[in-house]
Structure 1
Amino acid sequence: MATSEQHRPEIVVGLVATPPDYPAQVVARLSAELADRLAERVDPDVRWTVREGWGDVAPRRDGGVEALLDDLARRRADARWDVAICLTDLPLHTERVPLVAHASARRRVAAVSLPALGLRQLRAVRSAVPDLVGRLLADASEERVPAAGWAPAELAGRIAAIHRVVGEVDAGELGYVASRLIGRVRLLTGMVRANRPGRALLGLSKLLVGAFGAAAFALTTNTIWQMGDALGGLRLTVIMLLGLTALVAWLIVAHDLWEKPDRETPAELARLFNLGTILTLTLAAAVSYLVLFAGTILAAALLIDTSILEQSLQRPVAFTDYLILAWIISSLATVGGAIGSGLEDENTVRAAAYGYHPEPGGWRDEKDA
């Protein structure tokens, strides 16, 4: 058995995550099972060896996918891998449509843009990477492995995010692109997924504490009760939206989260980064608002007796009156919480900016290990 194992040709596949933050977590989960998937999907008569690697803290922005592939090719040559696959959270484009993946047989490398895969990224990566490896080895005409072993599946049929294939098939330069409309929607949802809005939500803990304090004070003011009763649903909705908008805007301005186009960041990429940041913060702010709303309802039900509320409003009250009361108080407290958000930890809040990649303490480059 050991002698037979030694005579099997070995193929070394490198998995590179850039930046070593969210993509590194995907790589860590994929590398544990990739060898078995390659044996099943590409060639069972090969000893598959998977190496993990971490790229730079942030990928190059100015050169698009070509610069990323060139950097990856140099990394592959230095590490003496047979092929290399890069997983990145950088949104890539070609022909003004989102690029899901690009395979370069000449360089024996391929890149996968995680946000272009949408929400179910790990599931899509599990299908995409084995096919990309098979495609690279087939197009590169690997002589020490029987050619019959390389029959890659059609990637576009396996991944829902891929709409069509572009590039030079004969030259082995293939780009897998998404559709123009649905692909952009999937890209934005994938960017929010990769940006981990839960992390942003946990980072707004001081904001929630300040908002709860403002809400507790407002609960004791019968003027607020009467104001909520007098305002209609439309105006209450406007006040809520203004409060959430003020919160998101304050976070962006106070913590300098707005990405500005420059030499390294093209205008289109800066717009995507800013949109991803806005969506992430909006989602975190909306969840915070719901938590505040639920807490305010509970506090109002416990602290304000029905008879006292009836005396203030001068009419019979129902549970909907408590909902309206919590609605206006939560909206006003959100504005107060926006001011208190300036006290949040700078690094925690900046992590919600899509273009910001702090140095993660849990990951190390292989060259430094």
Structure 2
Amino acid sequence: MAINERHRPEVIVGLVATPPDYAAEVVARLATELADRLAERVNPNVRWTIRQGWGDMAPRRDGGVEALLEDVARRRADARWDVAICLTDLPLHTERQPLVAQTSAQRRVAAVSLPALGLRQLPALRVVLPDLVGRLLPDVSQEWTPLPGTATGLTSQVTAVQGVVGEADAGELGYVASPLVGRMRLLSGMVRANRPGRALLGLSKLLAGAFATAAISLTSSTVWEMGDALGGLRLTIIMLLALTALVTWLIVAHHLWEKPDRETPAGLARLFNLATIFTLTLAAAVSYLVLFAGTILVTALLIETSVLADSLKRPVHLTDYLNLTWIISSLATVGGTIGSGLEDEDTVRAAAYGYHPDPGGWRDEQDA
């Protein structure tokens, strides 16, 4: 068995993460299983070797996919890989449509935009990567050889891919999403790549300040009466205003707004800002729910029904506790913005889509 393994031809596939942040985590997860998937879907008679590499911290945004392909082609040649695929969290476009993947058969490289795959990126990549490798290396593929002018199976296997554009004869193909649904999927994928959970953990001081404000508010009978007087509509408006104020304050105070410049076109800056807003909104909403749950528990423990009834001058029901918790949580969210100004700058800036923190140790994998 060892002899057969030694004599099987080796094919080296390089996975390059650009920039080395979220994309590097995806590469690390896929690298452990990609060889088996290539053997299963492309050719079991070769020895697949997977190499990992990390791209630039701030890739050329204005160059789009062509800049990524040129960079990964140089890396493939320098490292002597047979084929290289770049995974990036940059949103890419071609012919005003979101670009899911781009291949260059002549250079034997491809680029995949992770956000364009939507929320379920890993399952989609498990289909996309073997397909791309097989088409970039048709001489080792036993399943099919792509013919000039034919569309690929990605359009039927991956929901995000709706069509193929480019020069099939030259092997320069782009796999695009639909203009409308594809843009919605792209934005959701950007929020997924931005990791709202990281933003939520970064707002720990905000939650501490909010809980402190809630504790003070619980002792005020005026707040009790406000919760009783305000209806559901006004409580909803107050909650939305509090969350809007918090998100706006985070963006302004920590300079999270992306401005167009020479390297960032206006359209790309808008996408970055939308992803940042949605990421912070999701993190703020989850923080609000955590605050609400903690506050209602404390309210039920500290405020006796009889005491609240004496203040409201009527019998108390469960909805009264809920309304009281609602108004206190909204007021505490506004108070929590003071705590948000004390957050670590890098921790909060990680919520900005155009910002990539120092990867802290990512290195190109060296051959043994």
Question: Which TM-score applies when normalising by structure 1?
Answer: 0.95
- What are the superposed Cα offsets for residues 238-293 of structure 1, whole Å, 9 maximum, x if unpaired? 11000000000000011000000000011111111111000000000000000111
Tell whether the 8 Å contact from 1:250 to 1:339 is kept in structure 2 after alignment: no
In 2, Cα distance between equivalents of 1:72 and 1:186: 26
The residue that corresponds to 2:212 in the other structure is: 213
In 2, Cα distance between equivalents of 1:337 and 1:300: 19
- What are the superposed Cα offsets for residues 7-62 of structure 1, whole Å, 9 maximum, x if unpaired? 33221110111111111111111111111111111112222111111111232201
Q: 1:317 to 1:179 in 2, by over 3 A?
A: same
In 2, Cα distance between equivalents of 1:87 and 1:159: 16
Tell whether the 8 Å contact from 2:51 to 2:365 is kept in structure 1 after alignment: no
- What are the superposed Cα offsets for residues 96-118 of structure 1, whole Å, 9 maximum, x if unpaired? 11111111112110011111111
Give the stretch that moved more between structures: 358-367 or 171-180: 358-367
The residue that corresponds to 1:186 in the other structure is: 185
TM-fit CA distance, 1:149: 6.0
Amino acid aligned to 2:229: A
Structure-to-structure mapping, 1:259-274, within 5 angstroms: 259-274=258-273
The residue that corresponds to 2:4 in the other structure is: 4
The residue that corresponds to 1:133 in the other structure is: 133
In 2, Cα distance between equivalents of 1:114 and 1:250: 29
Structure-to-structure mapping, 1:147-296, within 5 angstroms: 150-151=144-145, 154-296=153-295
TM-fit CA distance, 1:91: 0.7
Gaps of 5+ in 2: 147-151
Query: Between Structure 1 and Structure 2, how many residues are aligned?
Result: 363
1:112 aligns with 2:112: yes
Tell whether the 8 Å contact from 1:19 to 1:357 is kept in structure 2 after alignment: yes
- What are the superposed Cα offsets for residues 315-350 of structure 1, whole Å, 9 maximum, x if unpaired? 111010000000011101101111221000111101
Structure-to-structure mapping, 1:309-348, within 5 angstroms: 309-348=308-347
Q: 1:368 to 1:171 in 2, by over 3 A?
A: closer
Q: 1:67 to 1:337 in 2, by over 3 A?
A: same
Q: 1:149 to 1:3 in 2, by over 3 A?
A: farther
Instruction: Please state whether the residue corresponding to 1:258 is helix, strand or coil.
Output: coil
Tell whether the 8 Å contact from 1:43 to 1:150 is kept in structure 2 after alignment: no
In 1, Cα distance between equivalents of 2:190 and 2:296: 33
In 2, Cα distance between equivalents of 1:270 and 1:291: 32
1:91 aligns with 2:91: yes
Instruction: Please state whether the residue corresponding to 1:60 is helix, strand or coil.
Output: coil
Gaps of 5+ in 1: none
In 1, Cα distance between equivalents of 2:87 and 2:256: 24
In 1, Cα distance between equivalents of 2:130 and 2:198: 31
The residue that corresponds to 2:102 in the other structure is: 102
Tell whether the 8 Å contact from 2:42 to 2:142 is kept in structure 1 after alignment: no
Tell whether the 8 Å contact from 1:240 to 1:331 is kept in structure 2 after alignment: yes
Tell whether the 8 Å contact from 1:292 to 1:330 is kept in structure 2 after alignment: yes
TM-fit CA distance, 1:150: 4.7
TM-fit CA distance, 1:4: 3.3
Which runs of 4 or more aligned residues in structure 1 lie more than 6 Å from their structure 2 counterparts after TM superposition? none
- What are the superposed Cα offsets for residues 181-217 of structure 1, whole Å, 9 maximum, x if unpaired? 1111111111111111111101100000000000110
Tell whether the 8 Å contact from 1:88 to 1:111 is kept in structure 2 after alignment: yes
In 1, Cα distance between equivalents of 2:153 and 2:364: 33
Tell whether the 8 Å contact from 1:137 to 1:150 is kept in structure 2 after alignment: no
Instruction: Please state whether the residue corresponding to 1:343 is helix, strand or coil.
Output: coil
TM-fit CA distance, 1:220: 0.6
In 1, Cα distance between equivalents of 2:348 and 2:259: 18
Question: Which TM-score applies when normalising by structure 2?
Answer: 0.95
Amino acid aligned to 1:301: A
Instruction: Please state whether the residue corresponding to 2:341 is helix, strand or coil.
Output: helix
Instruction: Please state whether the residue corresponding to 2:348 is helix, strand or coil.
Output: helix
